[in-house]
Copies of this chain bind each other. A is one copy, B any other.
Amino acid sequence: MKFFSDSCEIQCFNSEKVARVKENSLNSEEVLGLTEIFKTMGDGTRIKILHALSQEELCVCDLVEVLEMSQSAVSHQLRVLRNLRLVKHRKEGKMVYYSLDDEHIINLFAQGLAHIRHR
C-alpha cells in the first residue's frame, strides 16, 4: 500500500512498519551516548591505548613507549578517554597511572574482533 505526502517527495514507505520501528527507536540520549562511545573507540591511537590498559595499569610514559608516539599526543588522547570515563587515573609522585574504568570495554573489543573475523 502506498501513501502520499505533499511536503516530501518520498511516498513509497510502509507506514505500519515505519510506525513500529519508530515506536522502538532509541531516545536521543541513548543515541548520543552510543555515538560518543563508538566515536571514542573509532580511533587507532585510542584503540591501542585501551587495549594496552586492558592488560595492565600503565603510566603515561609506559604508554608512550608502547605506542611509539609523542607524549603530547598520548596525553591528549588520555584526556578524551578520561572525559568519557573509559579510563581512570591514579597519581603516585609525579607519575600518573591509568587503567580501564569499565570492563564493558573488553566485551566491546571481543565483539568487534568477532565481527572483523566474521567477514
Chain A residues within CB distance 8 Å of chain B? 8-15, 17-18, 20-22, 24-26, 30-44, 47-48, 51-52, 55-56, 58-59, 61-62, 64-66, 71, 85, 95, 102, 104-105, 107-109, 111-116, 118-119
Contact = CB atoms under 8 A, between A and B. Distances in A.
Contact of A13 (B13, B64, B116): B64
A62 B17 contact: yes
Most chain B CB inside 10 Å of its own CB: which residue of A11, A48, A104, A114: A104
Chain copies in the assembly? 2
Chain A contact residues: helix, strand, loop or mixed: helix
A45 B21 CA distance: 15
A102 B113 CA distance: 12
Contacts of A51: 25-26
A80 to B, nearest CB: 12
Contact of A48 (B9, B31, B58, B113): B31
